Amino acid sequence: MCNSAASVRHPYAVGETPQAYREPEETGEAQAADGGEGGDGARRRRKGTYPPLPEPLPVPVIDNHTHFDFSEGPAVSLGDALDAAEAAGVRGAVQVGTDLASSRFTAEVVEQDARLLGAVALHPNDAPLLAGAGTLDDALEEIERLAAGPRIRALGETGLDYFRTGEGGRGSQLTSFRRHIDIAKRLGKALQIHDRDAHDDVVATLLADGAPDRVVLHCFSGDAGLARICNEQGWYMSFAGTVTFRNAENLREALLVADPSLVLTETDAPFLTPHPFRGRPNAAYLVPYTVRAMAGFLEADLDSLCARLTANTEAVYGTWDRPGEPGKHRPVAGVADHT
């Protein structure tokens, strides 16, 4: 007779995709066939499936930039997403807004799970659209109201993006960026910056307007020269899965130059999945792939690097657990349906 208990897979088995992230048709055989990027198993599997759970980190870290409201695959509840992250040694996250809808979502869910803090903002690529519709000022006023919440610890992601927005929209981006800088300073919040192909103007704007006390260049995309500027100014550099990409030598050079007290890590999930799973959906439980790669590049002790990353992250955002509620959380109804 079959032992039914033995036939049930643990939802957080190392080397297997967490159950909540599996497509309905995924089987144990498909999981066993997964050999990572370049392996025969990976070529047989659909590119859109989530990667396997890594070995948990020896010291828990925090994903300081992720988007739980974005979906690239099966609907996953917030509780399941955070449980999977904890199983991998990722004890908390910063949920980041990019427009009014996602910022409202962020303000709601950070009050419902102690493992979350939040950031709210208008993405730079949205600023020209809002300005064209005549609603940018109203939107920024709502962002300021949302940012006042005690578990909203940053304005972000804001900044400049010259890759997706042409010269005609750059004035609106700059206006929005400067307003976010001002709000962050007045409310005493950190600033999370989206900087794409705009390094010089991001730096110039921060210096001209006066940066908030805590600035994070999310998904750091500069080189060693920009890292040195961040060192001089005391700005934090958050390294995502991109630092593991084979063509990202500039990021590894920046990591080697960066002041260790200013280094953070993130997923930017569901985007920028680290090697060897580049191109597949990302999730907070995959942070260990990036952190282990960082330790290798730095020739650093993994335990010490994890402890440093967590200390740095709390220096930016404060502590996660509410007084009297360490690690407490409850499911958030409807999160899996939010897009």
Q: Which domains does the chain have, with CATH numbers?
A: 59-320+333-337 (3.20.20.140)
pLDDT of the residue at 158: 98
- For 2, residues 6+ apart whose C-beta sits below 8 A from its C-beta are none
Residue 136 to residue 178: CA distance in whole angstroms: 13
The pTM for the full model equals 0.87
Residue 269 to residue 289: CA distance in whole angstroms: 13
* Residue 102, CA distances (Å) to 29, 66, 105, 202 in order: 37, 12, 5, 24
CA neighbours within 13 Å on the CB side: how many for 193?
A: 30
For the chain, report the end-to-end CA distance as a whole number of angstroms: 44
pLDDT of the residue at 45: 41
Contact call for residues 196 and 161 (beta carbons, < 8 A): yes
What phi and psi values does residue 276 have, to the nearest 5 degrees?
A: -100, 25
Residue 335 to residue 325: CA distance in whole angstroms: 22
pLDDT of the residue at 43: 35
Contact call for residues 298 and 51 (beta carbons, < 8 A): no
User: Other C-beta atoms within 10 Å of 22: how many?
Assistant: 20
What phi and psi values does residue 91 have, to the nearest 5 degrees?
A: -90, -5
Residue 231 to residue 217: CA distance in whole angstroms: 12
Tokens of 48: 């859109």
Helix-, strand-, coil-residue percentages of the chain, each rounded to 5: 45, 15, 40
* Residue 76, CA distances (Å) to 69, 82, 277 in order: 10, 10, 19
Q: Is 191 helix (H, G, I), strand (E, B) or coil?
A: strand
Q: Per-residue pLDDT for the chain (339 aa), expressed as one digit of tens each? A: 444 333 344 679 999 999 999 987 654 444 444 444 333 433 334 367 999 999 999 999 999 999 999 987 888 999 999 999 999 999 999 999 999 999 999 999 999 999 999 999 999 999 999 999 999 999 999 999 999 999 999 999 999 999 999 899 999 999 999 999 999 999 999 999 999 999 999 999 999 999 999 999 999 999 999 999 999 999 999 999 999 999 999 999 999 999 999 999 999 999 999 999 999 999 999 999 999 999 999 999 999 999 999 999 999 999 997 543 333 333 333 333 332
Residue in 287, 258, 256 with CA at minimum distance from that of residue 85: 287
